[in-house]
């Protein structure tokens, strides 16, 4: 299972590290320190990220700081695949991003809820890629 350190979760959600820590302390996000630094399970982070897209709290994030031509780091919240195509939904800070790609590409990228990914947006095309590999718990 993919896990996120506090700083990574904060980046994905477009929040501060302190906010993520407070949410863990308040029970809004699960956090584990079993293997060292506090980590958050990817699926739990994806579930929270999906709720923030339509939540008023997103107004407190850095909305407006990302150009439409930028690459946005986010978390995959939903994957729908058939035999040929896949629909990938992501939350990148305050933004919900949807990409259509081949099912083969989605499988090769290992896209599933809770996985960190990068959405590159230009015009009507959304390109999704995985960031450089890191150690997952």
Render pLDDT for 63-86 as a digit per residue (tens, 0 to 9).
Answer: 444 444 567 889 999 999 999 999
Identify the H or E element spanning 17: helix 17-25
pLDDT number for residue 33: 85
**3-state secondary structure (DSSP) of residue 58:** helix
Mean pLDDT by 10 residues, the chain (137 residues): 90 88 92 88 91 57 48 92 96 89 94 92 75 65
Among 49, 31, 47, smallest CA distance to 39 is for 31
Query: Looking at the DSSP assignment, which residues form a beta bridge with residue 98?
Result: 89
Residues of the chain with pLDDT > 90: what percent?
47
Task: Give this prediction's pTM.
Answer: 0.55
- The CATH number assigned to the domain with range 1-137 reads 2.40.50.100
């Amino acid at each position: 299972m993919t896990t996120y350190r506090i700083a990574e979760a904060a980046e994905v959600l477009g929040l501060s590290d302190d906010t993520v820590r407070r949410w863990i302390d308040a029970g809004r996000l699960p956090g584990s320190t079993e293997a060292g630094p506090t980590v958050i399970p990817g699926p739990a982070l994806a579930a929270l990220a999906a709720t923030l897209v339509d939540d008023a709290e997103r107004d407190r994030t850095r909305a407006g700081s990302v150009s439409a031509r930028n690459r946005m780091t986010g978390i995959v919240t939903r994957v729908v695949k058939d035999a040929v195509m896949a629909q990938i939904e992501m939350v990148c800070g305050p933004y919900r991003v949807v990409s259509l790609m081949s099912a083969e590409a989605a499988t090769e990228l290992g896209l599933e809820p809770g996985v960190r990914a990068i959405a590159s947006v230009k015009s009507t095309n959304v390109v999704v890629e995985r960031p450089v590999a890191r150690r997952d718990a």
